[in-house]
Chain A
């Protein structure tokens, strides 16, 4: 007798609000996110830029909290403090709250970093690859209990994936303009960064810009929608990595490309990340890894 197929509502819930799994992929996102943050704000958010005691204190707290987030010590609290400071800096830059002009914090990559850090508060990213995990193992060992599982609710990771989809889709929508579709936008970007006002008058070159514009538009749309499907992901992830590598080479994109590629992890099924990690660690580690996720180590 075949089992009744779950309703659409329960399948949707299982894939969103009730979504659970291994927290290792989330931990990798947490670590990469802090490194991207530091790469982005390391120089402009140093004490040399502080204009007063309050700003200096904010900078010290930011680096303390983000360091705790990186190593996974009091992870959720550290993430919340880091996110709160980023939101303050972002609002400060955008709305002039507090009267400080931190124009360095008004760019898209900084907006994405801030949003993702905020969403990480919802993710139990400290349950794996963290000091919190190490402490939990010690406590369990001392009490003679089995170690806590490296599992948790991952609906926050789904929101991070949705955020990246939105970035791609809205970026594609922005390109639905005569300026972009005619190739003119890529031409003017190339002129701004490389050629100056001397764009060669060549029909072939213009055709190349038009083709590049349409390919990029199609790829962004495909990435925005297709990354949710495992079959499409197999092709889209390498294409996306290549695209962002090209951006990184050709344009001053700061950490945007690296961050975007890191966030591809949010689309991958957590079990698949576990399998990949186990494969990397070798045969002996595979079963230990699975047991650790289940909590019967």
Chain B
């Protein structure tokens, strides 16, 4: 076997090993290096997006709120992006606070909703009775892979 052929075999084996195994470094082991490639296309879009409904609480009475109508947007498509696509705790709180201001002080606002995380849909603010009041420090659900 000639030197040239041995070199070709070694080169091919090394490149093939890199192609096959390198993504494991980040995708399986969670390494943060940028030297290794990943093939995890479209894994991130929509993370932290919030879905659900805002509820007004008056005594024992729960009422589902139309956030678009209440905030003066008849056509949801024409509403601002922060109102259409709610992202993260901060985004949900922003919408809740806008609703609080609109409805006045004698109403509590709750969110019956979920947030998109790497582990799937997780409840958001399920333990909060009134989003109009200031919130204390809270544990944040895991959002990204390997967090």
Q: Which residues of A contact B (CB under 8 A)?
A: 16-17, 94-95, 108, 111, 115, 119, 122, 155, 158-159, 162-163, 166-167, 170-171, 173-174, 177-179, 182, 184-185, 187-193, 196-199, 251, 256
Q: Which residues of B contact A122 (CB under 8 A)?
A: 11
Q: Which residues of A contact B52 (CB under 8 A)?
A: 197
A171 in complex: contacting residue of B19, B39, B49, B84, CB < 8 Å: B39
> Are A179 and B119 closer than 8 Å at their CB atoms?
yes
Closest Cβ–Cβ distance, residue B24 to chain A (whole Å): 8
Closest Cβ–Cβ distance, residue B16 to chain A (whole Å): 6
A118 to B135, CA, bound (A): 53
> Are B51 and A182 closer than 8 Å at their CB atoms?
no
Closest Cβ–Cβ distance, residue B61 to chain A (whole Å): 22
Q: List which B93-138 residues lie within 8 A (CB) of chain A.
A: 116-121
> Are A171 and B46 closer than 8 Å at their CB atoms?
no
Most buried by A among B23, B50, B120: B120
Closest Cβ–Cβ distance, residue A79 to chain B (whole Å): 16
Interface 0/1 of B7-41, CB less than 8 Å to A? 01101100110011001000110000011011111
A119 to B18, CA, bound (A): 12
Closest Cβ–Cβ distance, residue A150 to chain B (whole Å): 21
B59 at the interface (CB under 8 A from A): no
Closest Cβ–Cβ distance, residue B145 to chain A (whole Å): 8
Q: List which B41-92 residues lie within 8 A (CB) of chain A.
A: 41-43, 45-47, 49-52, 76, 84-86
Q: Which residues of B contact A171 (CB under 8 A)?
A: 39-41
> Are B51 and A178 closer than 8 Å at their CB atoms?
no
Main secondary structure of the interface of A (DSSP, over half): helix
Q: Which residues of B contact A158 (CB under 8 A)?
A: 12
Q: Which residues of B contact A198 (CB under 8 A)?
A: 51, 76, 84
A188 touching B76 in the complex, CB below 8 Å, given contacts A163-B19, A166-B19: no
Interface size on B, residues (CB 8 A): 39
A197 in complex: contacting residue of B12, B28, B85, CB < 8 Å: B85
Closest Cβ–Cβ distance, residue B90 to chain A (whole Å): 14
> Are A184 and B85 closer than 8 Å at their CB atoms?
no
A162 touching B20 in the complex, CB below 8 Å, given contacts A108-B39, A185-B43: yes
Closest Cβ–Cβ distance, residue B52 to chain A (whole Å): 8
> Are A251 and B118 closer than 8 Å at their CB atoms?
no
The 3 closest A-B pairs by CB, nearest first: A188-B46, A192-B46, A170-B39
A94 touching B85 in the complex, CB below 8 Å, given contacts A155-B8, A179-B117: no
Q: Which residues of B contact A196 (CB under 8 A)?
A: 76, 84-86
A167 in complex: contacting residue of B11, B39, B118, CB < 8 Å: B39
> Are A94 and B27 closer than 8 Å at their CB atoms?
no
Return the chain B residue nearest A170 by Cβ: B39
> Are A182 and B43 closer than 8 Å at their CB atoms?
no
Closest Cβ–Cβ distance, residue B80 to chain A (whole Å): 11
B23 in complex: contacting residue of A170, A185, A191, CB < 8 Å: A170
Q: Which residues of A contact B119 (CB under 8 A)?
A: 177-179
Return the chain A residue nearest B95 by Cβ: A197
A173 to B43, CA, bound (A): 12
Closest Cβ–Cβ distance, residue A269 to chain B (whole Å): 19
Closest Cβ–Cβ distance, residue B26 to chain A (whole Å): 10
Interface pairs (29), CB distance under 8 Å: A95-B35, A111-B37, A119-B15, A155-B8, A155-B12, A159-B12, A162-B19, A166-B19, A166-B20, A170-B27, A170-B39, A179-B116, A179-B120, A187-B116, A188-B47, A188-B116, A189-B45, A190-B46, A191-B51, A192-B46, A192-B85, A196-B84, A196-B85, A197-B49, A197-B50, A197-B52, A198-B84, A251-B42, A256-B41
Q: Which residues of A contact B39 (CB under 8 A)?
A: 108, 166-167, 170-171, 174
